[in-house]
A = this chain, B = another copy of it.
Amino acid sequence: MEKTIAIVGLGLIGGSLAMALKGFEGHRVVGVVRREATAEYARDHGVGDEVTLDAAGALRRADMTVLCINPKDIVSFLEEHKEEFKPGSLVTDVCGIKSAVMAAAEILPDHVDFIGGHPMAGTEFSGIEHALPDLFRSAHYLITPRADSRPEHIALLERMAAYIGCKDVVKTTPEEHDDIIAYTSQMMHIIAVSVCDDESLFSCQGFEGSSFRGCTRVADLDVELWTQLFSMNTSALGAALDRLADNLDSYRAALRSGDTELLRSKLSWSAGRKHRTNLGERSTDPYYV
């Protein structure tokens, strides 16, 4: 019998996922949206095999449901629809925060499995009109299974991640996820907006190169999404930013000192650390050039 995947929310991530999942193990991909305009756009552009505003109808037949909405919307969606998921089905999400989402998923009945998910993909754009079928290419797909998550559900996510082009699936805990993501993702966004707050932002145009674009690319972020993500992880993010401030201060002091040897030795140390993370090899990630 044909299996069904429901994708709740067809924004940048949900839309891209619906495109990328086309034909995955014969599943029927059903997009669930709130606005008729999104449904029309999705139908016109062939995003998903079917698009509906009837969440309950889709959830009842979905063997897997992927929540591609903001963290706070996940909380209210689970609360509102908790009785409508198909018994024995897998529910997962794609959200950049895991502790709060895993806690919210406690509301689900026992006959529904929940595994947190976070494909490390995205662009600085949002909305279905920016969705890309190859958005997930070479990305890490982080998952946070529960202790009692069914092995076949983990295996299903692993096959799905491979099908959409992810580099690998990394299993972690919600706490570890949020702690590390504060550094690798959230802090990058705070850096990007802070750099763009500089008084020179508009007068510097014509003088920017790839390092500036690489650092500030994500500054034009989805404000509501990132307000939620940051607010749900203030402690880990604050700690990461404290460490950054210390490391920046150390470079500022070296510059102020006028001690060229100290500066050279610091740069040598830092560059060596970076070098060891990838041994200078070019990645196949399309975002890494």
Complex-state Cα separation, A275 to B241, whole angstroms? 24
Assess whether A208 is in contact with B194, with CB atoms less than 8 Å apart: no
Size of the A side of the interface (Cβ < 8 Å), in residues, is 98
Assess whether A264 is in contact with B223, with CB atoms less than 8 Å apart: yes
* Residues on B with beta carbons closer than 8 Å to the beta carbon of A214: 188, 213-215, 217-218, 287-288
Assess whether A260 is in contact with B227, with CB atoms less than 8 Å apart: yes
Counting CB contacts under 8 A, is A151 at the interface?
no
Counting CB contacts under 8 A, is A149 at the interface?
no
Assess whether A209 is in contact with B139, with CB atoms less than 8 Å apart: yes
B-binding segment of A31-39, A105-113, A231-239? A231-239
Whether A213 touches B255, Cβ cut-off 8 Å, given contacts A196-B270, A201-B277, is: no
Across the two chains, which residue of chain B brings its CB closest to A225? B267
Kindly identify which residue among B125, B188, B241, B280 contacts A220, using a CB–CB cutoff of 8 Å.
B280
B-binding segment of A17-25, A54-62, A80-88, A178-186? A178-186
Counting CB contacts under 8 A, is A187 at the interface?
yes
Assess whether A191 is in contact with B215, with CB atoms less than 8 Å apart: yes
Complex-state Cα separation, A189 to B220, whole angstroms? 21
The 26 listed contacts between A and B (C-beta, < 8 Å) are A120-B209, A123-B289, A140-B209, A184-B204, A184-B212, A188-B195, A191-B195, A191-B248, A194-B251, A197-B269, A200-B240, A201-B274, A205-B277, A213-B214, A213-B285, A213-B287, A213-B288, A214-B217, A214-B218, A219-B271, A223-B264, A227-B263, A227-B264, A237-B255, A238-B255, A289-B289
A sample of 15 more A-B contacts (CB under 8 A), given A172-B207, A194-B250, A221-B271, is: A120-B209, A125-B280, A140-B209, A180-B204, A180-B207, A181-B207, A191-B215, A192-B215, A193-B271, A195-B247, A214-B288, A223-B271, A226-B267, A227-B263, A227-B264
| Chain A residues near B (Cβ < 8 Å) | 120-123, 125, 139-140, 142, 168, 170, 172, 177, 180-181, 183-185, 187-221, 223-224, 226-227, 230-231, 234, 237-238, 240-245, 247-252, 255-256, 258, 260, 263-264, 266-271, 273-278, 280, 283, 285-289
